[in-house]
Chains A and B, each alone.
Chain A
Amino acid sequence: MGGKMIVDNKRRKEFDVILLGIVLIIFLIGILAIYSATQAKNLPRAESYVARQAAWLAIGLVFLVAATKISYQKFIDLSYILYMVNIVLLVLVLVLGHVRLGAQRWFTIGNFAFQPSEFMKLTLVLALAAYVGQRKGAMDTLGSLVVPCIVVFVPFTLVLMQPDLGTALLLVPIFLSIILVGGARLKYIVWMIASGILSAPFFWHALRDYQKQRLLVFINPNIDPLGAGYTIIQSKIAIGSGGLLGKGWLNGTQNQLNFIPERHTDFIFSVIGEEWGFFGALALVLLYYLIIQRAFNIANLTSDRYGKCIATGIAMLLSLQVIINIAMTMGMMPVVGIPLPLVSYGGSSLLATLVAIGLLLNVGMRRSTF
């Protein structure tokens, strides 16, 4: 009885309230930006976007708290099942997606769109952590890398077929970071990266025309001034014209004049950059940086291999999404469909991010009991 009390007290102390606070601040910034972006779009009701996103936050927070209540070891136990379920959902999306032309990445359940690839990032982290944790120190042989490679290759291929190049490519560094922390030999990891780069021309042929176009546009935005190139140029103008202090909330001219497509989802950062200026944008980047530093800290302080792998995977997941998305809006990276975590409009992304943060808190709370 007394022992349990001590553990509980300890847990409460270790629950990272600051991290959760930062998450909520970032979300609030996102809500303001979504309102600004959607009310300019002359959509029937901008409030409905905000209300929906808030509803998703409420649901997400319930999941977040739930994810901290059960020991993360339970998630590890369930990881393969979650992984398989997610794979099945990805296959289903592909099958149903073929009914319509073009890309289909989500199911619609009632009024809400559900996007399995968003959750795949997380279930992949869990599955890899389960495998690597189980192997104890024996990750240094080439043979021990076979299973992790298959585990990443299956969802990679399925997501690529959707086709969602950005999310598929995101899975690769997550995978590499977990086996790196898990103790795989550096030599093998370097080999994998090298062979990945060498096989790039092969993958180039597998890409759809518009995906090739986007990569080419990144190299030279001017080859497609009407399509993807237009978005990049307009997004850069939006961010650049924000200057030091920004044009003020609801006052971004690029934003209000409908110059930027998809600006409430993938290009939301251009709205923030334009309306809040260098200070605002930098503050947001710093807030993300704080979360990510805390995540890496948790990973560093956790001696348990399972927990360490989970924390590392989630830290990488969050930081890469933030870096890729923001770099993309500034034309520093190709336009790939990666949302800005906690800020971009979209339930699946928000929910997956909040569950990921719940798991991170979970690892942080329980690490000392081991």
Chain B
Amino acid sequence: MRDRALAAIMSALFILLAAGLFYNQILRYGYYSRLSRNNSIRVMPIDGPRGTIFDRAGRPLVTNRLSFDVAIVYQEIGDRRKLARLLNDVLGMSGGEIMEALEKAAARSYGPVVIAADIGKEHALALEEASFDTGGLVIETRAKRDYMYRMFGSHLFGYLGEITADELEALKEYGYRMKDLVGRGGVEKQYERYLRGSDGGTQVEVDSRGRQMRVLGVKEPIAGQDLYLTIDASLQLTADKLLGDHKGAVVVMDPRSGEVLALASHPSFDPNIFIRPDMSEGRLKLLNDKSGRPMSNRAISGVYAPGSVFKIVTASAALENRKISRYSRFFCGGSFRLGNATFDCWKQEGHGWQTITDALMNSCNVYFYNTGKILGVDQLEAYAWLFGFGKSSGIDLPDEVKGIVPGRAWKKARRKGAWYEGETINYAIGQGYLLVTPLQVLDMTAVMANKGSLVRPRIVKRIGTAEVPADTPKAIGLGAGTVREVRDGLFEVINNENGTGKRAKIAGAAIAGKTGTAQNPQGRTHAWFCGFAPFADPKICLVVFLEHGGKGGVEPAEIARGIFEEAKRKGYL
């Protein structure tokens, strides 16, 4: 009985199917036939604009501008000769170019095919007016990304690129379509899901001459969300200008909140060239520049030996472990012997007797060789981790690398060998296997600025109307005495007339810092400067890194001074 009932229900549904076929194919044949014959459904997409990126004060950094594209609907061309003349007059297209454009349009004759992109407003208006005579010409307006500062801040913002086949496969359920632009680095990539607008469009029925008969459906586009960065546009400009033609990176941060005020990496690039179709040559040049690597964000994706700036960690570890005190002294005669090996100080004639304060101020290597020897590799490794090396800082930017914090276990696993004491000696002055990013050095500096607390750097303050909560800095367990000793040393680096970083000094604000000059296998030394101000209650900390830039106390310290001065002018100090 019951199976019969089921069969009857299914039969009824089959009859409904047949009725549906009859309705669509017989009764509505005329209507559908006409729609299909004219191919007369045209879809016109309306872009959902990407969110604007602002700085902390609400000044626009990355916006959208209107661009005008010329498209041809081949089917609807009325007078080919007139059209060709018009394109020649207004856009200066040659006969050959026009032929090519028409061929392109003929391949998809029922829909608009873009033949010239981004033609400028005046040209667009001229064409729009004249298109009544020729038919088949459509001006499409689209929102195009505009990186107003061009070469400045580009690693921070990132750029846009066309979606790849693989990404499309993975993302199409989220509304991505072919030719969509997606964020390819920086904030554009990290916050893609917020910045991205969702495209709308209208579906219209047109007659055989392309006139719109009626709108079948409209889907409103939705704009992406705006981003408010922690960046200060004027500090960013200063950082970029001071870096100039150097290879390197500058990062400025408020140590109390981790808010990054400026982040520059050079050589830089102009993100706009990834949007303009006519600039593919420039794109290739950027991507193929192996020595300059302009696309790489050196502040977070480059790893380097830290050199003497790492002495902050060595000093903290030794003080904390009571291996040295403020009264401990070591004699520097210009070199240090361990077995048969000799380790040099940078000052050949030696620094004489040194306390921790002197040793930081003079950046005396021999003092730290001695310290490293009595401290041992395990403590150096432990404190390097504690200060944030060897792991990502958690900054909201893509492609951050972790660097290397070596140790006994690391060496066994990676180099298949035992740890040598000579390697500890080098470790203590930031040389050897140790590799760090400029941002990690900044984070280490912030620990001293914050009197013992590590902070997570961040770039985005607000998404749309929602504030992004900041983490509070976390104490890493340094005693007050340790912090005081190291900070006093860092103060002398800038303010003592023999200090290695005295070129960073400015009038009206007490600065502390550390220089570094790191040897590396690739050539000239890397130059570092890190510092913070005001000394008593720091509001700004920064790192300056110059790849193969010579001595840390020279150019990096001068760049730092320029930034401190600008920060003072802007009321940060």
Contact = CB atoms under 8 A, between A and B. Distances in A.
Q: Do A and B bind each other?
A: yes
B13 interface: yes
Interface of A: 100-103, 177, 180-181, 208, 210, 221-227, 229-230, 233-234, 236-244, 253-254, 257, 273, 277-278, 281-282, 285, 288-289, 292-293, 296, 299-300, 308, 312, 315-316, 319-320, 323, 326-327, 330, 332
B476 interface: no
Contacts of B203: 222, 225-226, 229-230, 233
Contacts of A101: 170-171, 173-174
B163 interface: no
Interface of B: 2-4, 6-7, 10-11, 13-14, 16-18, 20-22, 24-26, 28-29, 31-33, 35-37, 39, 41, 43, 45, 110, 169-175, 199-203, 216-219
B74 to A, nearest CB: 13
B219 A225 contact: yes
Given A223-B219, A285-B17, A293 B7 contact: yes
Nearest to B166: A100
B26 A254 contact: no
A244 to B, nearest CB: 7
A238 B36 contact: yes
Given A101-B171, A289-B14, A316-B6, A243 B25 contact: yes
Contacts of A223: 217, 219
Contacts of A227: 175
A278 B6 contact: no
Contacts of A229: 203, 217
25 contacts: A101-B173, A102-B171, A181-B2, A181-B3, A210-B175, A226-B45, A226-B201, A226-B203, A226-B219, A237-B32, A237-B36, A238-B36, A239-B25, A240-B28, A257-B110, A273-B21, A273-B25, A278-B21, A281-B21, A285-B18, A288-B14, A289-B14, A300-B4, A315-B10, A332-B16
Given A230-B43, A285-B21, A299-B3, 11 more contacts: A102-B169, A223-B217, A224-B217, A226-B200, A230-B203, A244-B25, A282-B21, A293-B7, A300-B4, A308-B3, A330-B21
B39 A285 contact: no
Contacts of B217: 221-225, 229
A100 B24 CA distance: 40
A102 B174 contact: yes
A367 B219 CA distance: 57
A226 B172 CA distance: 13
A330 B174 CA distance: 25
A180 B203 CA distance: 46
Contacts of B22: 278
A241 B33 contact: yes
Contact of A225 (B11, B33, B201): B201
Given A223-B219, A241-B33, A323 B170 contact: no
Contacts of B21: 239, 273, 278, 281-282, 285, 330
B539 to A, nearest CB: 41
A326 B124 CA distance: 46
The 9 nearest A-B residue pairs measured at CB: A240-B32, A222-B217, A225-B203, A225-B217, A241-B36, A296-B7, A278-B25, A101-B170, A241-B32
Contacts of A282: 18, 21
Contacts of B28: 240
A78 to B, nearest CB: 24
A222 B218 CA distance: 7
Query: Which of B7, B26, B174, B199 counts the most A-chain CB atoms under 10 A from its CB?
Result: B7
B43 A240 contact: no
B183 to A, nearest CB: 15
Contacts of B31: 240
Contact of B199 (A103, A226, A296, A330): A226
A332 B41 CA distance: 21
Nearest to B34: A241
Nearest to B36: A241
Given A240-B28, A296-B10, A332 B3 contact: no
Contacts of A327: 16-17, 20
Contacts of B3: 181, 296, 299-300, 308, 312
A208 B20 contact: no
A277 B41 contact: no
B7 A236 contact: no
Nearest to B172: A102
Contacts of A224: 217, 219
Contacts of A257: 39, 110
Contacts of B45: 226
A319 B13 contact: yes
Given A181-B2, A225-B202, A257-B39, A240 B10 contact: no
A316 B20 contact: no
Contacts of B110: 257
A293 B11 CA distance: 8
A296 B13 CA distance: 15
B10 A236 contact: no
Nearest to B5: A180
Nearest to B167: A101
Query: Which of A253, A254, A296 counts the most B-chain CB atoms under 10 A from its CB?
Result: A296
B173 to A, nearest CB: 4
Contacts of A180: 2, 6
A285 B110 CA distance: 33
Contacts of A226: 43, 45, 199-201, 203, 219
A326 B25 CA distance: 14
A239 to B, nearest CB: 5
B201 A240 contact: no
Given A225-B217, A238-B36, A254-B36, A102 B29 contact: no
A360 B22 CA distance: 31
B25 A100 contact: no
Contacts of A253: 36-37, 39
Nearest to A258: B108
Contact of B170 (A100, A225, A237, A292): A100
Contact of B20 (A177, A241, A315, A332): A332
B536 to A, nearest CB: 50
A236 B36 contact: no
Contact of A236 (B17, B26, B32, B202): B32
Contacts of B24: 236, 239-240, 273, 330
Given A102-B174, A226-B199, A242 B216 contact: no
